[in-house]
Each structure stands twice: as C-alpha cells, then as structure tokens.
Structure 1
C-alpha cells in the first residue's frame, strides 16, 4: 500500500483555488469594500447552486446525499422569507423590498452543501480569515476612519454600532482559532492573539456598548466548553486572564468608561422625564413594540408596519418626536422588528435562524475531528454574540450584516460537519494519515 503524500495545508488544486481564496478573504473583504459582503455571498450561493446542478465529472464533488444538517439548514434559512410572504399575503400588501434582507439567509444553504463536501485542505484556508479581518477592522479605524458624529468612529460605509459589533466578534473568533487545524507556529499565534486585541480595540473605539454585553456571556460559555478535561490551574488562570483583559480595557479606555457611565446617567434622566437619551429612546420604542405585539400577535402589522406606526404613537404622546423619528429607521431590537411586522410567525422564523444552526454547533462540540469541534465552538459563539447584539440594535436590517451572518454560519457549519459526510470522512482520514 502506498504511503500518502504529505501536502502543505495551503496546497489546493485548480478547482479548489477559488473557494479557498473565498474562505480566506471573505471576512476582510466585507469590512474593506462597500457591498463586497453581499456581492460575495450571493456569488458564492449562485456558484454553489451551479456546482450542485452540474455533472460530477465537471465539479469533482461527490454525489449529494442529504442528511439532517443539510435539511435543517435549508428549512431554517427559508423561514424568514416564508414569514414575510405569509404576513404580506394576509395583510394584502406584499412589499417587494422587504424580501431583500430575509432572502439572503437562504444563501447559506447551497454554500454549506458544497463546502461540506470539500477537501480539508480547502477548508483549512479559513484558518487565518477571522484574525486578518479583526486586524483589518482596527486598521480601518486608524488609517481611514469616518466620524459619524459625537466622536463615534467607524468605516466609510458601516455605522459604528454594526462595525463595532462585527469587529468584536471577529476578535473573539480570532483567539478561538488558535491551533484550529494544527499546532500553530509562533508567528501565526501572534497574528491570532493580535486579532483578539485588534477586535477589542476597534469595538472600544466605536463606542458600541450594546455589543459589550455579549462579552461576559460569551466568555462564560467558552470557559464552560473549553474547561472540560482541563487542569485546575488552567481553569483558574484563563478566567483570570479574561478578567484582566476586560479590566485593563475599562481602566485605560476613556471611551469605555464614558459609554458605560452614560447608561446610568441616561436611566436617571429617563426616570426624571428626559426620555430623549439613547437609552430612553430605546425604552420608548420597546414599549411601543410590545403594544403592537400584544394587539397584533399572530401576523403583526405587515411589512414596514412598525415604521408606519410611528406617527400614530407620536400623536398619542407615547413616543417623543425624536423617538418616533428614529423608530422610522429601526426598532433597535431584532426580535421586536420581526414580531411587530410579521407577528409570532416572524418571531419563530427569526428564532430558527439562531436556534437551528446553534443546535447543530452544540451537537458538533463532540465532533470526531479536532477542527470540527473548534469550528462548532466558534459557530456557537458567533450565534450567541449576534443574538445579544440584536437585543439593542437590528442586526439584520442591513443587507451587509445579513450576508455576513449567514455566510460565516455556512463556513463554520461546513467545517464543523464536513466529517459527517462519506466523502468528508474519507478525506479527513486521508489527511490524518498524511500527517503521520
């Protein structure tokens, strides 16, 4: 029996070069170029569909054998579009533009089908993708920032809240990618650790405090998952390191101290009748959204229903003019945004986008290959972070953020589950043999 030839982890054939470059560059391109995240996501989905429809001799992909992961992701990613369609049909006002963002969730389904059946050496190009993107996020703020007002810096095309949230989660994914596919060399470790601090720094610079709520939750979850089987010393030192990093960020960042202090100040003002603070406006909008859900629970008000109800709430005195004006832009809560427009049906559709891939990642925490287990933790972290981001801002009101979320989920789901497929299992086994 011949001995397998050992290949570099960057070795790919001509068929795999394009997907390999996509896996490496997608997160960074999303932050660097306006519209790149959406365009690349759509292109990847269309190319994936074309590959799935092409003869095996042309693509080199194994025959598709559907399993529970494939079916679950296809159904989950279709739910938002179905919710919009049902609500629109019921209210008799189907607004074409409201299908744009929800339809982008579906891009994940064909991409996962293709990537799960790719060779490990192609999937390994994800290794530095999140670290590089986290470094890019800080580079943008240091080299070509845009002041969006009140000293809030971000990129030229993405507002500080979304930019800060994306930078933060990229930093966390960067540190989680340490020793992802193999034991990293010192230089690679430095890049990934640098990605963590770059993501944290970028988030602090933007002042996006809503995203900071995710830090203790995500940290606790990671500690719980990663501490299993570790020594007592490891279980003590890692939490202390996390606390030290966060304490240092607070101590040395005036932006962090001011933004956190503004929360209590805004709340005091709200209780004394000054409701037009950032916190006060959100509380007003949440109260209005809750009333809409209470009065129209099943299918909401229909497309753009929340936005169109703002004037009525302002006229009744429930919303201040400033809150009503901002409410025409968004509800500042992703669940309320879906439930006010599409009711419980919309809320369940949104939950499917979080819960279904979340369950897949949770189950893959015990995947048969190390890379799959690490990808599962990264995917679970990514979903939990985005869910928390969505408590104070509409994470999916921009096409770019929808595309980013769904594409990253597709990539991590593919890595977490590729060994489940027959071809993936054989490829993973061959890759292990080649390292021996």
Structure 2
C-alpha cells in the first residue's frame, strides 16, 4: 500500500495549512482521508503489519471514547422514542476517529516530520487573515466561516505544536528552531488580536505542559523561563491596551450582573446560561432534554424568569460540559469527559518519556486535549465543523508518531541507551 502513504501525508499537511483560512477545505481534506482509509480496508492493507481490526482491539478505549458522544445521542433517542437523523451528524464526526487513525498508519515515520511545514504556513496565513479582518486589532469581527475565539485557539495550538517540534531538529538546524519560536510568538499575537479571554486562559496551561515535558532542562533554567513568562504576561496586562480593555469590560459586566442592573452583557449572558443549564440538568439528569429540545428548554427557562429572553435565543450554553449535560444528561457528561481525557491519558503517560521526541509529541497531544478542555469552559468548541477534524486528525497523528517512534527505538536502540 505504498501508494497511500504520500496522499495521506499531503492531505494532513494541507489540512493544517488551509483549514482555517479557506472555507470548507477542512471538510474536503477530512473526507478524502476517510476515503483513503476505506480504500485501505477494502484492499486488506496491513501498515506496520497491523490490520484495521487489530488496531480496533489494541486501542478500543480510545475508539470508544471518541464514539461516546454519538452513543449518548442514541441513548437519548431510545429514551424518548423520537429518532431524528440530523442529531447524529455532528457527533458522528468524532466517531469516525478509528478510520482516521487507521489512515495515519500508512505514513512512513520519515515522512511525518514534513507535516510541520503545514503547521508553519498555516499559522502565517492565519495571522495574515486575522490581521486583515481585525485591522491590526482595531476591530473585533465575530466570524467569517469560523468564530474568532475558535479560530484564535486553533491557531495558537498550531503554534504550540510548532514550538514543541523543535525536538525534531538537529543541532545544525538552530536557525530553523529560531523560526519555530517566531511562529509561537505569532500564534500568541493572534490570540492577543482575538480579544478572547477564553483563548488567553489556555496560554498558562500550555506553559505548564511545556514545563512538565522539559525533562532535560535544569531546574534553574525552568525557574528562569517561568519568571520570564510571568514578566511577559505582566507586561502584556500593563501595556497591552486590548487586554486592559477586555479586563475592564469583564469587571464592569460582573458588577452589572451582581447588582442586577444589566444581565445581558457578555459575561452576564454566560452566568445566566450556566445557571440555567445546571437547572435543566437537575430536572433531566439521565438523558437530558435532547439535541433538538435545547432551544425549547431555554425558552421555558425564560418563561420561568430564570434567564432573560435574549439569553434564551442563543444556540449554546457557552460551556462545553454543561451543553452536553443539558442536552444528553449524564451520558453527555461522561461522553465529553471521555473525549477530553482518554486521549489525554495516552499522551500524559508518555510526557516524561526518556526520548526527547516522544516527550515533545506527547506534549503536543496534551496541549491539544487541555486546550480544548480549557476553552470549553468558556465556549462550545465542538459546535463548529472545523473543530472535529482538527481534534481527530491531531490526536491520530500525534499518537501514530509516538507509536512509530517507539518502534524505531526498539528496533535500533536498546532501551537503556535511548538518548535523552
């Protein structure tokens, strides 16, 4: 199946390059990867001497976790007897993870590092896009085909992936490493221009993950980097006009909400929806109100004077976990936690590995899972089409890289001599 390896790596590279800047391109590349996976199954391919069924057996907890939201929808509709086909649409995009993971197995290990070029170019193109649409931060657009808060988080994540990929470079590629640091700074600049407080909240999370993964850095150097990071953040708050304005707005919103002066502010709406979602979950704890019943449930809360009519008109709860809980009950809660934390488990167990490459790719995966989780506390990430292939492709690619790297080390380097 050598003829499948090049198309797969090209599609993954193009996905990171164009998914956030060209409308519908994410769906096209995702569909083509699924098609290649199906071709491999039909032709009984065995990349790495493993069949598709073998992969299912070996990684069934991960496959089940990704299918959990779809199973939660099934549970809800079985409880009501009301089966609506479109309710399966979004959740099925995660459930096909097994096929995407299978497709990744066709990429030879020596090709996998080429994907970093897609990440680098993707960050640059995305930065140009937000620079133009915001007028260098002078305005804040809502969305083109993907909301600015989701867009900025995905770009920031790509820049973090690029920074961690410095471990792929040799000592003779120091200029390349400098380029990657510049790409990270560009990603942070995109986050800054987005004016999204939820995106900013993920930056310290990534810094902690980097600190954990930096096994071969002396404690004194870690302390120095931590202090430097704190100074940079402090300087941004002190001198960054966008951050100061957004913090001031947040303080004003909280005051207006707590005094009941104006509840339909940016934060006030979130507070209402969080409270309303919790009430609905307590009233429908097992199966939830259903995906199709969410809008009607909010309208009922407005009639009961629990939330404002404007808040009741919004499409989601501004919190991924609460959104799944209110729509799909306890099944939805377990499903979204599985989507976050089962992949995180696979990466976290490798984040202190002796091998530098494995450790840094595990950090990429951990940043992905924790980035989606953290932003999901303030918004609903999996409401947008581009986020499904982004998450699935990234989890599949990083885990495949780790597996192939381990196989290479076991084949050529004794475990006791793995280079740190």
What CA distance in whole angstroms lies between the structure 1 residues aligned with 2:402 and 2:159? Answer: 20
For residue 307 of structure 2, give the secondary structure of its aligned residue in structure 1. coil
**Partner deviation per Cα, 1:245-304 (whole Å, 9 max, x = no partner):** 323333443111111221111101111111111100000001110011111111111123
What CA distance in whole angstroms lies between the structure 1 residues aligned with 2:143 and 2:309? Answer: 29
Unaligned residue ranges in structure 2 (runs of 5+): 414-420
For residue 357 of structure 1, give the secondary structure of its aligned residue in structure 2. helix
Structure 1 residue 201 and structure 2 residue 189: aligned?
Answer: yes
Report the counterpart of residue 10 of structure 1 in structure 2.
none
Question: Would the aligned equivalents of 1:298 and 1:342 in 2 still touch at CA under 8 Å?
Answer: yes
Report the counterpart of residue 235 of structure 2 in structure 1.
248
Structure 1 residues 359 and 28: CA distance shift in structure 2, 3 A: same
Structure 1 residues 247 and 173: CA distance shift in structure 2, 3 A: farther
Structure 1 residues 237 and 371: CA distance shift in structure 2, 3 A: same
Structure 1 residues 67 and 397: CA distance shift in structure 2, 3 A: closer
What CA distance in whole angstroms lies between the structure 2 residues aligned with 1:60 and 1:402? Answer: 25
Report the counterpart of residue 96 of structure 2 in structure 1.
107
Structure 1 residues 406 and 359: CA distance shift in structure 2, 3 A: same
Structure 1 residues 191 and 100: CA distance shift in structure 2, 3 A: farther
1:235 shift after superposition: 1.6
What CA distance in whole angstroms lies between the structure 2 residues aligned with 1:183 and 1:153? Answer: 42
Report the counterpart of residue 213 of structure 2 in structure 1.
225
Structure 1 residue 166 and structure 2 residue 159: aligned?
Answer: no
Unaligned residue ranges in structure 1 (runs of 5+): 1-12, 430-436
Structure 1 residue 83 and structure 2 residue 77: aligned?
Answer: no
Which residue, 295, 307, 310 being the options, matches 1:307? 295
Report the counterpart of residue 377 of structure 2 in structure 1.
391
1:307 shift after superposition: 1.9
Which residue, 221, 224, 234 being the options, matches 2:221? 234
1:103 shift after superposition: 0.7
Question: Would the aligned equivalents of 1:297 and 1:344 in 2 still touch at CA under 8 Å?
Answer: yes
**Larger RCO (alpha carbons 8 Å, 6+ apart):** 1
Structure 1 residues 179 and 215: CA distance shift in structure 2, 3 A: same
Report the counterpart of residue 357 of structure 1 in structure 2.
343
Question: Would the aligned equivalents of 1:98 and 1:303 in 2 still touch at CA under 8 Å?
Answer: yes
What CA distance in whole angstroms lies between the structure 2 residues aligned with 1:193 and 1:43? Answer: 32
Report the counterpart of residue 179 of structure 2 in structure 1.
191
Question: Would the aligned equivalents of 2:123 and 2:155 in 1 still touch at CA under 8 Å?
Answer: yes
Report the counterpart of residue 203 of structure 2 in structure 1.
215
Report the counterpart of residue 29 of structure 2 in structure 1.
40
- Map 1:322-333; keep pairs closer than 5 Å: 322-326=310-314, 329-333=315-319
For residue 158 of structure 1, give the secondary structure of its aligned residue in structure 2. coil
Q: TM-score, normalised by structure 2?
A: 0.89
Report the counterpart of residue 6 of structure 1 in structure 2.
none
Q: TM-score, normalised by structure 1?
A: 0.86
Which residue, 407, 418, 423 being the options, matches 2:393? 407
Report the counterpart of residue 418 of structure 2 in structure 1.
none
What CA distance in whole angstroms lies between the structure 1 residues aligned with 2:61 and 2:404? Answer: 15
Structure 1 residues 211 and 285: CA distance shift in structure 2, 3 A: same
What CA distance in whole angstroms lies between the structure 1 residues aligned with 2:94 and 2:37? Answer: 15
Report the counterpart of residue 416 of structure 2 in structure 1.
none
Question: Would the aligned equivalents of 1:132 and 1:195 in 2 still touch at CA under 8 Å?
Answer: no
Structure 1 residue 282 and structure 2 residue 254: aligned?
Answer: no
What CA distance in whole angstroms lies between the structure 1 residues aligned with 2:258 and 2:47? Answer: 64
- Count the aligned residue pairs: 409
